[in-house]
Amino acid sequence: MMKTILITGASSGIGYQTAQKLAEQGHKVYGAARRVEKMAPLEKFGVTPLKLDVTNQFSIDAAIKQVIAESGRIDVLINNAGYGSYGAIEDVSIAEAKQQFEVNLFGLASLTKAVLPYMQKQKSGRIINTSSMGGRLVSYLGAWYHATKYAVEAFSDALRMEVKPFGIDVVLIEPGGIKTNWGFIAADHLEKSAKDGAYAAVAKKTAEGMRKQYSGRMMSDPKVISNAMSKAVNRRRPRTRYVVGMGAKPLIFLHAILPARAFDYMMTHAS
């Protein structure tokens, strides 16, 4: 059954591939991102590009207004926009920490609040939030990124209970290591934040390790995430969580069974 879908972060990586896949399945897909020109190639698959900044309420309202005007409904919202900014707590400015929360959590929440009245009126809908295995465990020097993802997990669990009476599902996608530019961006932020401070040497080493990992062949193809999102969209009764991608399941399992200090040691020596 064809659904009207709005997906954020559709200009690259996971969002781009998911938008294409869902459009090829026959769904009416609106791909949203700040850089609308990067989504132009998706138009040949039937995706409608939308300019959207999830941190701007006027932008959110305009995007929702367009979808409703053209399609009359929103069946699925995929909150996929986000970024990773690594750095020691001491080194990362509170302004940068707040910005990461603005994008990864509050932008997601604002868009969710904007679509809920339409889904409630329909008595149906599905909200799919891109979290991370980093919402279930913490890697070295990534405090603020992980704080946002832990928050997305809690937000989604609470939302799922609230909207169930309206026939609305809430699903979490929890990717592991995925071969996108995310790791390179996070590594650059990490090295830049450390500068000549107390964490400079360890930050440089960790950043080099991240770049090596994301340049290698171990990371999973973004298609594993778009496949999971496709299941979350199309199944009559989706799971509440999809844990997919390199290292996600074993690392979450180890985090659950290992003593905290043992897991800390493993993560600080991972690079």
Mean pLDDT within 236-254:
96
What distance in Å separates the CA atoms of residue 93 and residue 73, rounded to the nearest whole number? 40
* pLDDT tens track for 219-240: 999 899 999 999 999 999 999 9
- What band does 29 get if pLDDT is binned at 50, 70 and 90? very high
Give whole-number Cα distances, 203 to 88, 93, 139, in Å.
8, 16, 13
Question: Which is it for the CA torsion 110, 175, 97, 55, positive or negative?
Answer: negative
- What band does 189 get if pLDDT is binned at 50, 70 and 90? confident
- What band does 91 get if pLDDT is binned at 50, 70 and 90? very high
pLDDT at 246: 92
- What band does 181 get if pLDDT is binned at 50, 70 and 90? confident
* pLDDT tens track for 129-159: 999 999 999 999 999 999 999 999 999 999 9
Contact 78, 128 (CB under 8 A): yes
- What band does 271 get if pLDDT is binned at 50, 70 and 90? low
Q: Is 149 a catalytic residue?
A: yes
- Out of 3, 21, 28, 149, pick the active-site residue: 149
Q: Has residue 183 got a pLDDT over 90?
A: no
pLDDT at 270: 84
- Out of 3, 11, 28, 85, pick the active-site residue: 11
Mean pLDDT within 24-29:
98
- What band does 180 get if pLDDT is binned at 50, 70 and 90? confident
Contact 178, 136 (CB under 8 A): no
Mean pLDDT within 19-24:
98
Mean pLDDT within 194-212:
92
Between β-strands 28-33 and 4-8, what pairing exists: parallel, antiparallel or unpaired?
parallel
Catalogue all structural domains in the chain, each as residue range(s) with its CATH number.
4-268 (3.40.50.720)
What distance in Å separates the CA atoms of residue 228 and residue 78, rounded to the nearest whole number? 12
pLDDT at 94: 97
Q: What percentage of residues in the chain have a pLDDT greater than 90?
A: 89
Q: Is 11 a catalytic residue?
A: yes
Structure-block tokens of residue 209? 């390790």
pLDDT at 217: 85
Mean pLDDT of the chain: 95
Among 14-23, 67-76, 181-190, 234-243, which is the least confidently predicted range? 181-190
- Out of 16, 30, 86, 145, pick the active-site residue: 145
Q: What percentage of residues in the chain have a pLDDT greater than 70?
A: 100
Among 65-79, 159-173, 176-190, which is the least confidently predicted range? 176-190
pLDDT at 227: 96
Q: Is 226 a catalytic residue?
A: no
- Out of 59, 85, 131, 193, pick the active-site residue: 131
